[in-house]
Amino acid sequence: MTAQDLAVRPSAVQEAVRRQISGRKLDIGALWFQALLLGSLVVALGILVSLLADVVGRGGTVIVERGPGFVTANVSSNPALAGVGQGIFGSLMIIVFVILLAFPVGIGAAIYLEEYAHDNTRTRLLNATVRNLAGVPAIVYGLLGLAVFVVALEGLTGGRSVIAGGVTIAVLVMPIVVITAAEALRAVPASIREAGFGVGATKWQVIRHHVLPYAAPGILTGSILTLSRAFGETAPLIMVGAVVGGFVNRPGQNLVDTLQGPYTALPTIIFNWARQPQEEFRHLTAAAIIVLVAIILVLNALAIILRNRFERRW
């Protein structure tokens, strides 16, 4: 037998090995398992689709029929006339409070934690406190708002007013701002800071000229996502007295009166309408939900666009 013969005619051993390692055994179990897993994602997708379909189906007609009138009209017990205008106004006022109060304090706290604080027990305690605050249920912040901003500080805020509501939501959202800002600051590479210190810059100069510009896109994205979340917060507003029914502003009211007077927000309107049994209110609720979801989607899309745009720069 020559080597050529061996090459042409495989031996029994070769044959056995070839049979063992080639060909695919059909593993039904694995296929089922994978299908099951994929199924969970499909269920999630299905829920999303079903929710959107239902909401658009119910509310679409209202929006199409009444158009911008729906967005501007006041809350009313007559479904044909009711609109979400006051809610949008109230929600916007609340967002203003969030931006003015939560963002500077939250980002400032993050800068302290990441840039100035030494790694000791006190700092670790501070970090843990912030994390725990972020996990407190929203309704507890509502309680805080009720006790402090509505009752105790009634002179300043006017009781159940948009000031109290805005400050409550700002306080609720602040720990999240701290956490997202701190993450963005942590992502700044140490070499940038070292280089800054190396040419004799002070701590604040390094932060201002290098760390903050580098972290700004991340902080901005996080802030916008936080705003989008603040828009949908309902429970605390109910606790601090956002009007759930309807109200009318007195004509000729000045800014302070408006700030200290009754108000409502888009999510609380939805809450109220959702509880009404009449079929027309179902449609109205769905329409209001469309408005709310549209606003949130726009904010989220803005955040994603900004993040992509800035990521390309470096």
Partner 1 sequence: MSANLTVADLRGTAARRRTEGLIRGVFVAAAGTSVLVSVLIVFALTEQAWRFISQVDLSVLISDGWFPRRGRYDVATIIAGTLTITGVAMLIATPIGLGAAIYLSEYASARVRRLLKPILEILAGIPSVVLGFYALAVLAPSIIQPLCGSNSLFSMGAAGLGVGILITPLIASVAEDAMHAVPMSLREASYGLGARRRSTSLRVVMPAAVSGIVAGLLLAVSRGVGETMVVAIAAGGVGGSLFTINPCAPGQTMTAAMTALATGSDQVRGDSLAFPSLFFVGLLLFLMTLVLNVISERFVRRFRRAY
Partner 2 sequence: MTIELQPEERTIDIRLTTVTGSRPEEAAAAVPAEAVFELRKFSAWYGTFRAVRDMDLDIREKRITSIIGPSGTGKSTLLRAFNRMNDLIEGARVTGTVTYHGVDLYAPEVDPVEVRRRIGMVFQKPNPFPKSIYDNVAFGPRVAGLKGKSRLDDLVEESLRRAALWDEVKDKLGSLGTSLSGGQQQRLCIARAIAVSPDVILMDEPCSALDPVATLRIEELMWELKQNYTIVIVTHNMQQAARASDETVFLTMGEDRAGYLVEQGPTAQLFTNPQNRLTEDYVSGRFG
* Binding stretches for partner 2 (CB under 8 A): 118-119, 189, 191-202, 205, 209-210, 213-214, 313-314
Nearer to partner 1, 27 or 256 (CB): 27
Contacts of 212 (CB under 8 A, 6+ apart): none
Q: Residue 1 binds what, of partner 2, partner 1, none (CB under 5 to 8 Å, by partner type)?
A: none
Q: Nearest distance from residue 292's CB to partner 1, in Å?
A: 7
In the DSSP assignment, the letter for residue 107 is H
Nearer to partner 1, 129 or 253 (CB): 129
Length of the chain: 314
| Cα→Cα distances 86→11, 162, 170, Å | 86, 12, 20
Q: Nearest distance from residue 36's CB to partner 1, in Å?
A: 6
> Which amino acid would we find at residue 113?
L
Return the C-alpha torsion angle 249, 254, 256, 261, nearest 10: -10
- Site membership for partner 1, residue 39 (CB under 8 A): yes
Q: Residue 111 binds what, of partner 2, partner 1, none (CB under 5 to 8 Å, by partner type)?
A: partner 1
| Angle of CA points 94, 96, 100, to nearest 5° | 120
Out of 223, 234, 260, 264, the only residue in the binding site for partner 1 (CB under 8 A) is: 234
Quote the distance between the C-alpha of residue 314 and its chain's center: 26
Residue identified by tokens 């979801």 is 293
- Site membership for partner 1, residue 41 (CB under 8 A): yes
- Site membership for partner 1, residue 71 (CB under 8 A): no
- Site membership for partner 1, residue 88 (CB under 8 A): no
> Which amino acid would we find at residue 312?
R
Q: Between residue 190 and residue 219, which ones bind partner 1 under the rule CB under 8 A?
A: 202-204
- Of 136, 155, 171, 151, nearest in space to 241 by CA: 151
Q: Residue 307 binds what, of partner 2, partner 1, none (CB under 5 to 8 Å, by partner type)?
A: none
Residue 30 φ/ψ, nearest 5 degrees:
-65, -40
Q: Nearest distance from residue 285's CB to partner 1, in Å?
A: 6
SS3 call for 74: coil
Q: Between residue 141 and residue 200, which ones bind partner 1 under the rule CB under 8 A?
A: 141-144, 146-148, 171, 174-175, 178
Is 28 exposed, middle or buried, given 0-12, 13-18 or 19+ CB atoms closer than 10 A?
exposed
Nearer to partner 2, 24 or 313 (CB): 313
- Site membership for partner 1, residue 302 (CB under 8 A): no
Instruction: Please give the size of the binding site for partner 1, defined by CB under 8 A.
Output: 84
Segment near partner 1 (CB under 8 A); pick from 6-14, 51-59, 72-80, 186-194: 51-59
